[in-house]
Amino acid sequence: VVMTGGLSPASDAGGEISPLTFLRRIYELGGGDWFEAVATHPYQYPNPPTSTEPTNAFLETVRLHDVMIDAGDGATKIWGTEVGAPTRGSRSISEAQQAQWLRQYYDAWNAWAFTGPLLWYSFRDKSAGSDVEDAYGLVRVDRTPKPAFSEFADMIRSTPKLTRAPGASERAQGAKTASGIRAISE
Q: What is the pLDDT of residue 164?
A: 67
Count of CB atoms situated within 10 Å of the CB of 87: 24
* C-alpha span between 118 and 162 (Å, rounded): 16
Provide φ and ψ at 178, rounded to 5°.
-65, -10
Q: What is the pLDDT of residue 45?
A: 87
By C-alpha distance, which of 41, 28, 124 is closest to 67?
28
Give CA separation, 19 vs 26, 169, 179, in Å: 11, 34, 24
Q: 17, 57 in Cβ contact below 8 A?
A: no
With a pLDDT cut of 90, the percent of the chain lying above it is 78
Q: 147, 137 in Cβ contact below 8 A?
A: no
* Amino acid letter, residue 138: L
Q: What is the pLDDT of residue 2?
A: 96
Q: What is the pLDDT of residue 4?
A: 96
Q: Which residues contact 10 (CB under 8 A, 6 or more apart)?
A: 16, 17, 18, 19
* C-alpha span between 69 and 21 (Å, rounded): 14
* C-alpha span between 171 and 183 (Å, rounded): 7
Q: What is the pLDDT of residue 171?
A: 37
DSSP assignments along 112-173, one per residue: -TTEEEEEES-SB-S-SSS-GGG---SB-TTSPBPHHHHHHHHHHHHSPPP-PPTTTTSPPS
Please tell me whether the peptide bond between 46 and the residue prior to it is cis, using omega within 30 degrees of 0. Answer: yes
* C-alpha span between 70 and 98 (Å, rounded): 35
Low-confidence ranges of the chain (pLDDT < 50): 168-186
Q: What is the pLDDT of residue 182?
A: 34
Q: What is the pLDDT of residue 186?
A: 34
